[in-house]
Amino acid sequence: MMRFLQVFAAALVATVVSALEPTAYTASGKAIYTTPSGSRIVKHGSNVNLYAPNGTLLHVFENADGSGGGGGPLRRQSTSVGQIFAPLPVGTGANDTLQSFNGTFVVPPPPTTFESQLMFFGFGYTDLTDTGEVYTFTGVALQYGGSNVQGGSFYSGAIFAEIPVLDTYILASLPNSTEQLNIGDTVSVYVALQGILDGILGINDTFYEYFTGFSGPNGDQFPTLQSYDEDKPQIVGWRVEVEGAEQPSDYPTGPLVFKDVTVELTTGFPSELNWEIEGDSAADIDFEVVNGDPTDVEIKMTFPDASS
């Protein structure tokens, strides 16, 4: 941590910031920025800053909360986003926040047709803007399909932050790794609190530091992302994005089940969570909360092919 704060300080005095360009666009025009594994994002005010692992400021995503004005819609709602989520019942104390959100899933059988569809089955947390819109979603994802920078007609493990207002994904990547996942693999994923900081970058405010990644024996073969948030996570859950899936066979041919999911707060396990489902018909996926108990959540996603 000390070293990171030092390089952070160095980043502050760097006079030249070379802004990144998107490395690719999805079919619907969402920008994908790739960044090395271990990169850090800092959410401060209405900006999301992206730092390389060595502390270099790579990019500033401005007005990421839609506060930039211009009178446009706050959020271009994609019709292919589905969510299963629960608001976190955290208190107002600075130390009352999400401790961890962990779970496992088994990589489902693949789609039988590939026509450049891109699917993210994301697992993570959401920060909201002051007006209650999605500011960022930060998490791990089972990805199927890809762009020219990552993925393909196979499953891969992705770590990403999404900024819906800017139609932007930030994807962390490891050099020389396809991040490929094999059918039937059991994969463990986590979001975990690393610390509550009194201030970083000279900003006198509380920051919540989270790591997002893959755990288990092969965990180090996947990227990680670190996040410093001025606000505590308000929601945990799944965010599914589907682009370019035209027919049932473009979807996984078996269900995707997340098991042994725990939602722990710094004050312990909440007695219950209120799970909500949104957009499942738009994404053409049947979402089911099999068990909602914060110590043992189970979520099942069933795809259109399952009924044929």
Ligand X SMILES: *[C@@H]1O[C@H](CO)[C@@H](O)[C@H](O)[C@H]1NC(C)=O
- Binding segment for ligand X (CB under 6 A), chosen from 95-103, 135-143, 147-155, 227-235, is 95-103
What minimum distance in Å lies between the beta carbon of 257 and ligand X?
Answer: 18
- Judged by CB under 6 A, does residue 78 bind ligand X? no
- Binding segment for ligand X (CB under 6 A), chosen from 146-154, 160-168, 190-198, 285-293, is 190-198
- Judged by CB under 6 A, does residue 203 bind ligand X? no
What minimum distance in Å lies between the beta carbon of 84 and ligand X?
Answer: 19
Tell me the per-residue interface mask from 206 to 235 with ligand X, x by CB under 6 A, - otherwise.
Answer: ---------x--------------------
Please, is 16 exposed, middle or buried when counting C-beta atoms within 10 Å of its C-beta (0-12, 13-18, 19+)? exposed
HEC string of the chain? CHHHHHHHHHHHHCCCCCCCCCCEECCCCCEEEEEECCEEEEEECCEEEEECCCCCEEEEECCCCCCCCCCCCCCCCCCCEEEEEEECCCCCCCCCCEEEEEEEEECCCCCCCCCCCEEEEEEEEEEECCCCCEEEEEEEEEEEEECCCCEEEEEEEEEEEEEHHHCEEEEEECCCCCCEECCCCEEEEEEEEEEEECCECCECCCEEEEEEEEECCCHHHCCCEEEEECCCCCEEEEEEEEECCCCHHHCCCCCEEEEEEEEEECCECCCCCCCEEECHHHHCCEEEEEECCCCCEEEEEECHHHHC
- Judged by CB under 6 A, does residue 63 bind ligand X? no
With respect to ligand X, which residue has the nearer C-beta, 144 or 222?
222
**Under rule CB under 6 A, which residues in 244-263 are in contact with ligand X?**
262
- Judged by CB under 6 A, does residue 100 bind ligand X? yes
What minimum distance in Å lies between the beta carbon of 3 and ligand X?
Answer: 13
Spell 94-106 as b/e; 16+ CB within 10 A means b.
Answer: eeebbbbbbbbbe
Are the beta carbons of 262 and 99 closer than 8 angstroms? no
- Binding segment for ligand X (CB under 6 A), chosen from 51-59, 69-77, 135-143, 156-164, is 51-59
Residue of 133, 167, 243, 264 that binds ligand X (CB under 6 A): 264
**Under rule CB under 6 A, which residues in 9-38 are in contact with ligand X?**
36
Residue of 49, 102, 129, 227 that binds ligand X (CB under 6 A): 102
Are the beta carbons of 161 and 225 closer than 8 angstroms? yes
- Binding segment for ligand X (CB under 6 A), chosen from 48-56, 75-83, 123-131, 244-252, is 48-56
- Judged by CB under 6 A, does residue 52 bind ligand X? yes
Tell me the per-residue interface mask from 145 to 184 with ligand X, x by CB under 6 A, - otherwise.
Answer: ------------------------------xx--------
Residue of 85, 190, 207, 208 that binds ligand X (CB under 6 A): 190
- Judged by CB under 6 A, does residue 60 bind ligand X? no
Which of 103, 126, 98, 121 has the alpha carbon at shortest distance from 262? 103
What minimum distance in Å lies between the beta carbon of 190 and ligand X?
Answer: 4
- Judged by CB under 6 A, does residue 95 bind ligand X? yes
With respect to ligand X, which residue has the nearer C-beta, 28 or 188?
188
By CB under 6 A, name the binding residues for ligand X: 36, 52, 54, 56, 95, 100, 102, 175-176, 190, 192, 196, 204, 215, 262, 264
